Amino acid sequence: MHFSTKDILQHFHTTWLPGDIQAAMLRLDLIHPLVQGNKWFKLKYNLEAAGNTKILTFGGAYSNHIVATAAACKLYGLKSIGIIRGEKPAIPGHTLQKAAELGMELHYVSRELYNELKSGGEMARLMQHLLSDAYVIPEGGHNAEGARGCEDILSLTDTSAFTHVLCAVGSGTTLAGLVNANTQQEIIGISALKGAFSLEGEVESLLKEPSSHWQILHDFHEGGYAKFTPALLDTMNDFYRETGIPTDRVYTGKMVLAFRQLLQQPFFPAGSRVLLIHSGGLQGNESLKPGVLCF
C-alpha cells in the first residue's frame, strides 16, 4: 500500500512550551486517508502473514482499528469480519457505519461472549462458522506482527535527535514496537484507559528483550476509554489554534494534555527534545456535537 511520508515531522511552538524544551509531532495521521496513524504499522505484517485468507478481528463501537482493518482489507481485496463488543445500536455511530461501508461484515456480541471469543474459550468453539479459515488479528493489532510493524515508525524520517518519545497507549502494541526499535530514547506511554495497570505486562509480552527505557503514565485518562472532560476539549482546541494540528478525544488529545501537564511539573529536564506520535483516529471526533471542536 502506498502512503506519503512528506512533511510528517512537524516542529511546533506553543505558549506553554518552555524555551529550553523542543517539541515536534510525527504526523502519522497524514500518511493515508483511511489506514492512517499507527494502524497500518500494526496491520501490515498481519496482512502479509494472512495471504489470501479472510481477516477476522475485534473491537468496540469507537474502534479505530476496526475502520483501519476494513479499509486495508478492501484495498487488498480481502474479506473482513469484525466482532463488535456490545449490542447493535439502533443507529450505528460513524465508526461502525464507515467499517460497514468499507465492506466489513459486522457481528455484535455480548461483552461476555466477546471476551470468550478473544481468549479462544468454549464460546469460540461454538462459533467456528465465523472463525474457520480466518486469519485472526487480535483487538488493536496486539500481537508480535503488530509490534514488529510499529518498530518501523521511528525510521520514517530522521528522529535520532529526540531524547523522549510520547505515544498514547490502548493495547500497548505501538509502545512495544517503539521500545523494540532500540533507539535508546526514553519512550513514554500515556494510557487512555482508567486503571489499566495490566498494560505494562501486555507491553512486556511483546518485547524482544527487557528494557528500562520505557514507562506508562496512568493519570491522564480523563475518566477512562473514550471519556472526555472540558479540560481535554479545551486543550485540543488550544493546541489546534496554536499549531494547526488536530487531535482526537480518545488517544492523541490525552497525549497532548499529558504533555502539557508534564511540562508544568516539570517532568522533562532542560534541553529535552520531545517527539509526540500522532496515532491518527480523528474520525472518533465525529461523534461529538458540531461546534465542540474548532477543527
- Closest by Cα among 136, 129, 127 to 53: 136
Nine cell digits for residue 210: 527487557
Nine cell digits for residue 289: 456535537
279 is catalytic: no
Question: Under 8 Å CB-to-CB from 173, ≥6 apart: which residues?
Answer: 38, 42, 140, 141, 142, 143, 146, 147, 150, 206
Nine cell digits for residue 66: 476496526
| Residue 121 Cα distances to 32, 116, 144, 158, 282, angstroms | 36, 5, 21, 44, 34
Q: How far apart are CA 43 and CA 48, in angstroms?
A: 9
DSSP H helices in the chain: 39-50, 64-76, 94-101, 111-119, 122-126, 128-131, 144-150, 173-180, 199-204, 230-243, 252-264
Q: Given 4, 63, 80, 272, which residue is catalytic? A: 63
Give the single-character DSSP code of 284.
G
- Burial class from Cβ neighbours inside 10 Å (0-12, 13-18, 19+) for residue 94 reads middle
Is residue 220 within 8 Å of 269, Cβ to Cβ? Answer: no
Is residue 257 within 8 Å of 239, Cβ to Cβ? Answer: no
**Residues marked as catalytic:** 63
